[in-house]
């Protein structure tokens, strides 16, 4: 089946059911981002932080709707969740993990660089991410920093490369047995 825009929305595996102006729509996270669909679980500060850090982890993640994807998944029963975090033995609810991790990233950025993550220059953002990855953050009171790094990094990888569009962008065949369902 040719990869058309309509098919992609159905097949991406990440389609979101959202209500816009009273209508229920089936959108990819990227489309939800472009249309500015409201968040239901994450606060605006959390969204801004998640998008900023994921964009540094893998450029393009913001536009692919990483925050939209995470926000929708946080509403689900953990056994139904599609989040990478599920691969690790993290105690649900996953919203608690994200809330704590993002709050600590906000605090770390302010304490170390006196500015929000979204406003960090590249060198500062790189040092902040390296401190998460290497577990060298100081006065950290959230989930283990390397786990936060892996979770957010792989959320970014999922939305950028884990979809049919991502495979197409990489130039490799997706080879789907079954199309992911349209969400109504």
Q: Of 7, 35, 41, 81, which lies in the binding site for another protein, with binding defined by CB under 8 A?
A: 81
Between 37 and 83, whose beta carbon lies closer to another protein?
83
The torsion of the CA quartet 163, 70, 37, 9, rounded to 10 degrees, works out to 20
Which tokens in the block code for residue 121? 């220059």
Min dist CB 22 to another protein, Å, is: 29
DSSP for 155-166 reads HHHHHHHSSHHH
Among 26, 106, 157, 183, binds another protein (CB under 8 A): 157
Task: Give the nearer residue to another protein in terms of CB position, either 20 or 87.
Answer: 87
Whole-angstrom distance, CA of residue 113 vs CA of residue 128? 9
Stretch that binds another protein, among 32-40, 111-119, 136-144, 150-158 (CB under 8 A): 150-158
If one asks whether residue 10 binds another protein (CB under 8 A), the answer comes out as no
Rule CB under 8 A: say whether 184 interacts with another protein. no
- Listed residue (120, 121, 150) closest to 135, CA to CA: 150
Q: How many CB atoms lie within 10 A of CB 30?
A: 24
Report the half-sphere exposure of 61 (CA within 13 A, side-chain side).
25
Position among 92, 111, 119, 168 found at the interface with another protein (CB under 8 A): 92
Secondary structure of residue 58 in the 3-state scheme: coil
Binding interface with another protein (CB under 8 A): 13-14, 56-60, 77-84, 86-89, 91-92, 126, 129, 133, 150, 153-154, 157-158, 161-163, 166-167, 170-181
């Amino acid at each position: 089946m040719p990869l058309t825009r309509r098919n992609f929305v159905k097949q991406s595996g990440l389609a979101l059911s959202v209500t816009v102006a009273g209508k229920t729509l089936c959108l990819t996270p990227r489309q939800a981002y472009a249309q500015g669909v409201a968040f239901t679980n994450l606060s605006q500060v959390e969204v801004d932080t998640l998008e900023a850090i994921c964009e540094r982890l893998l450029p393009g993640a913001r536009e692919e709707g990483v925050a939209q994807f995470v926000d929708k998944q946080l509403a689900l029963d953990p056994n139904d969740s599609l989040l990478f975090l599920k691969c690790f033995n993290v105690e649900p609810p996953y919203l608690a993990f994200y809330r704590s991790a993002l709050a600590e990233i906000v605090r770390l950025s302010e304490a170390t660089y006196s500015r929000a993550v979204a406003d960090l220059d590249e060198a500062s953002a790189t040092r902040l991410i390296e401190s998460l990855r290497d577990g060298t953050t100081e006065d950290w009171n959230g989930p283990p920093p390397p786990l936060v790094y892996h979770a957010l990094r792989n959320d970014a990888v999922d939305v950028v490369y884990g979809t049919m569009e991502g495979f197409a962008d990489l130039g490799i065949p997706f080879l789907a047995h079954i199309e992911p369902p349209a969400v109504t």
